[in-house]
Amino acid sequence: MTMAQQAAAIRAKTLSSRDATRHALNRLAATEPTIHAFLQVFEDRAMQQAAMVDAGEARGPLAGVPIALKDNICLDHGRTTCASRMLEHYESPYTATAAQRLIDAGAIVIGKTNLDEFAMGSSTENSAFGPTRNPWDVSRVPGGSSGGSAAAVAAGVVSMALGSDTGGSIRQPAALCNLVGVKPTYGRVSRYGLVAFASSLDQIGPLTRDVTDAALALEVICGRDPLDATSAAEDAPRLVATLEAPIPNLRIGVPTQCRSDANHPGVNAALDTTLDLYRSLGATIVDVDLPLTDFGIAAYYIVAPAEASSNLARFDGVRYGHRAALAPDQGLFDLYCRSRAEGFGPEVQRRIMLGTHVLSSGYYDAYYNTALKVRRKIKGDFDRVFSPAGNACHVVLMPSTPGPAFKIGSKTSDPLAMYLEDVYTVGINLAGLPALSMPAGITAVDGAPLPVGMQLVAQAFDESTLLRAARMFEKHTTFAAARPNL
């Protein structure tokens, strides 16, 4: 069942929340030895909450529906580890706003999912607690950094899981696991309770099986939050009510830069198939130019590590986090150095060092300030595509990733190759725009069927258009219904 179907069945009492939750927990137990999507499971608490729903003590649009949260989203119970030894035993005293809104809507959190450590990665191989595997092919990655959330939904454990997206960390695993994944406009969803990676880029969003569930989840978690200074003064949008309305005279911009020989042939074929379907629905396809697409990676991997080096400075072994054991003759400096060396994994250390370097005296203007100028120009390029005086497009369409899921271990020794997996996603975070990855095809790789995703991008705070355009496509395809044989 989808999330919307589960919620409706529980309201109609044709399905009990206890049965839905028990099914999710049984499915988790069956798949977890193979997939490793979860870092924590709240079985007793989840079943108690399900019983309350069945007794009529808890209500809401998602009452009784089991869900999961990425383990960099705080809950006031259990642990919030960020898949790091640094926070292996950290217990948050509060719950993130996005998570609380789902709980207030009646959803039942059955567990916390695996991720690349501190959300830094594109494969969920950087977790201190081991990699997550793709349900479509367990020898391959599920994408990252929200790979645990994606795998949990793709494996049929839950119908919706929250992830976070700093440079593609929702959309990339959605594409590799045949899901819908939405990165909302920056400021649309509160970041309060999301452990910071890069504060000007991070956003929480849902991973679901279809567009309807994505709209339902977004409608619950969006809205102004006084606890988050970057939260936009925008009311929560009504997304579900408008979802089925097609967009008249839909104009879709297709960047010339996304037709690349570096793409897997299956990705290019899915792009053509997607455009053909939109044409058949009456859409106008417009070639557009996003000339700084390739520079987005360079800008992102300056801006994001710079912010990470600042945000992660708080994990020093003194206030909270891992604290190293010291010899009697060692002092505070040794405590800092050893605690951080032992607590942070190689990828996190790499990004902290890179970020500290680009912010240092003599390099700040050459690197960081230059990256900020590129960021502004990337935003300007998107503005021109959407502007009535420019291309006047409703949405931009491009691949979510340059290829399907890759083998575990195939890119870990080459960080640049791993970073290039985000070539189509990072620019959208730099521009602060909403984007959605949707299932768009299945391609064969070494004889195995693997999903391919396409990405839609809309103007800031226009998630309604984004979801409606995706729903127009979804209604005329069967890609979203495909499931892994797990």
Q: What positions carry a catalytic annotation?
A: 70, 145, 169
Tokens at 3, concatenated: 């999330």
Q: 441, 479 in Cβ contact below 8 A?
A: yes
> Which residue type, as a one-letter code, is found at position 459?
Q
Q: 74, 95 in Cβ contact below 8 A?
A: yes
Burial (CB count <10 Å: 0-12, 13-18, 19+), residue 373 = exposed
Three-class DSSP category at 288: strand
Tokens at 419, concatenated: 């970073």
DSSP E strands in 64-184: the ranges are 66-70, 108-113, 160-165, 180-183
Q: First and final CA of the chain: distance in angstroms?
A: 17
Q: In sequence order, which ranges of 125-195 are alpha helices (DSSP H)?
A: 147-154, 171-177
Residues 24, 335: Cα–Cα separation, whole Å: 43
Whether the upstream peptide bond of residue 387 has omega within 30° of 0, thus cis, is no
Nearest-5° Cα angle at 206, 200 to 207: 125
| Pairing mode of beta strands 284-288, 180-183 | unpaired
Tokens at 280, concatenated: 């058949």
Residues 271, 15: Cα–Cα separation, whole Å: 39
- Alpha-carbon distances of 280 from 273, 424, 472, rounded to whole Å: 11, 25, 11
